[in-house]
């Protein structure tokens, strides 16, 4: 199926992520972009959407340093002695999106600055022979 024919669903969004593409939906009427995708524009109440590839460039809006992680992160070796950062990013195109923040010193949150420029990256994890791809961010 060609990219433009995919349905505007979370499943399609995640399929794109697995292909290392950060895609959003753009309302053809008002130009607002949505990540993850929306089928309907809440502003215009229309389904006049198109897929757009996001730049992945944005700014750190918020983050938290996590020492008691989900099983997925515990499995990856994160924990009390090795925290990981989960962040909220405001993309240059407008939408806010969350993901793991890497390339920073997680044990020194005071060195991580709100507003710093970041770019999207794709974090691969091998789980039982299969590769999982997660959206992450790193300093730009």
Cα torsion 91, 93, 97, 102: sign: negative
Least distance (Å) between residue 10 CB and Zn ion: 19
Exposure string (b/e) for 96-122, b if CB count within 10 Å is 16 or more?
A: ebebbbbebebeeeeebeeeeebebbb
Provide the 10 A C-beta neighbour count for residue 51. 19
Please report which helix (H) or strand (E) contains residue 91, including its range. Answer: strand 84-91
Is residue 44 a contact residue for Zn ion (CB under 5 A)? yes
Nearer to Zn ion, 4 or 45 (CB): 45
Is residue 47 a contact residue for Zn ion (CB under 5 A)? no
Binding mask 24-43 for Zn ion (x = CB under 5 A): ---x-xx----------x-x
Is residue 50 a contact residue for Zn ion (CB under 5 A)? no
Least distance (Å) between residue 44 CB and Zn ion: 3
Q: Which residues contact Zn ion by CB under 5 A?
A: 27, 29-30, 41, 43-44
């Amino acid at each position: 199926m060609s990219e433009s024919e995919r349905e505007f669903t979370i499943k399609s969004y995640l399929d794109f992520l697995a292909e290392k593409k950060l895609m959003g939906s753009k309302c053809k009427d008002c130009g607002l972009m949505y990540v993850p995708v929306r089928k309907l524009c809440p502003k215009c109440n229309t389904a006049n959407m198109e897929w757009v590839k996001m730049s992945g460039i944005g700014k750190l809006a918020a983050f938290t340093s996590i020492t008691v992680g989900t099983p997925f992160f515990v499995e990856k070796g994160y924990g009390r002695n090795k925290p990981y950062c989960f962040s909220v990013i405001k993309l240059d195109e407008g939408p806010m999106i969350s993901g793991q923040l890497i390339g920073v010193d997680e044990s020194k949150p005071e060195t991580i600055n709100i507003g710093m420029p970041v770019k999207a990256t794709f974090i691969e994890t091998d789980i039982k022979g299969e590769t999982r791809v997660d959206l992450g961010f790193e300093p730009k």
